[in-house]
Amino acid sequence: MRITRLAAALGALTMAFGVAACGGDDDSGSSGSGATGIVKKAESGKLVIGVKADQPGLGLQTGSTYTGFDVEIGKIIAKGLGLADSGIEWKTTVSANREPYIQQGQVDLVVATYTINDERKKVVNFGGPYFVAGQDLLVPTASTITGPESLAGKKVCSVSGSTPAKRIQTDYKDAKLQQFDSYSKCVTALAGGQVDAVTTDDIILAGYAAQEQYAGKFKVVGKPFSEEPYGIGLKKDDTAGCNKINDILKAAAADGSYKKAWDDTLGKSGKAAPELDATKLTNCS
C-alpha cells in the first residue's frame, strides 16, 4: 500500500516536471505544480479577462461592473480554474485588439463575441465554441433593406478587426463600408441617419435593438448569412489551458451553470438557452 502510494507520488512528480520541462509558455516560469499558461496563472489567484464593454447582454460596462453572457462565461472558466470572482480583473477589449492583447499578455483570456477562425488561430488558441451566432443587419424599422444583397450603394457600418467588416469588404464590395472601433458607435450613427445599416452578429444586434432608447426604431433583418462560433481566446501555445477550458465548458453544460449564465443575461429576452455541443469543441492543438 505504502509503496504503491509512494510510486504514485513519484509518478506524479515525474509527470509534473516533465510537463514543466516541455511547457511552451515562457512567461509561465517554473512551478512545483508543473502547470503552465493560464492554469499556472490561475494558481496566483488572479486572471485578466478581456471582454466587450458596450454590447448589451454580452459584455456591458456600467461604472466598474461588467455584465452579460460573455462575462458569465468568463466567471465559469475562472471558477473552473479555481478562482473566486474577486480574482478576476476585467479589461475592456475592442474587436481589433483581441489578438494583440493575448499575444502581449495584456489579458490572459478573451471572452468577447470572439469568432473562432483559421486566420486568428495562426496567432492565438481558442477554447469553445460556447455559442454560435450569425452575421445579420440592423436597420431602421422602415428600411427596405432585406439582406446583404440589398446593400449596394448603401452605407453600412461595422467594426475594424471584425469578421463582419471583412465579409462586407470581400463578398459585398458594392456596399459603402464605414468602420468604427465599437458597435455602439455604429448604432449611434444609425440612429442619427449617417448610415443605412449596422452589420455584425445577430445576437449583438438584438441587444442594441432591445435597448430602451431605441424602442421601435430599429429591426434586425433576421436572415443570418454566416456562422460565427464564439471561442475563448488564449495564448497560441497554451494547449493545456485550452483543453482545460473545454473541460470546464463541458462540465458547465452538464451541471446547469452554462444554462444559468444564459438565463441570467441574454435569456431575459425570452430566448431559450442554446445547447452547448460538446462534440464541436476545438481540438486545441
Query: Residues in the site for ligand GLU, rule: CB under 6 A?
Result: 95, 112-115, 159, 162-164, 200-201, 228
31 vs 92, beta carbon nearer ligand GLU? 92
Q: How far apart are CA 171 and CA 165, in angstroms?
A: 10
Smallest gap from Cβ 103 to ligand GLU, in A, equals: 16
Smallest gap from Cβ 218 to ligand GLU, in A, equals: 18
Smallest gap from Cβ 36 to ligand GLU, in A, equals: 26
Using Cβ positions, the residue closest to ligand GLU within the complex turns out to be: 162
114 vs 218, beta carbon nearer ligand GLU? 114
204 vs 240, beta carbon nearer ligand GLU? 204
Smallest gap from Cβ 163 to ligand GLU, in A, equals: 4
Smallest gap from Cβ 166 to ligand GLU, in A, equals: 8
Q: Taking Cα atoms as reference points, which of 19, 91, 89, 66 lies closest to residue 241?
A: 19
25 vs 228, beta carbon nearer ligand GLU? 228
34 vs 164, beta carbon nearer ligand GLU? 164
Smallest gap from Cβ 32 to ligand GLU, in A, equals: 37
Number of neighbouring beta carbons within 10 Å of residue 170: 8
36 vs 95, beta carbon nearer ligand GLU? 95
Q: Residue 161, class by beta-carbon neighbours within 10 Å (0-12 exposed, 13-18 middle, 19+ buried)?
A: middle
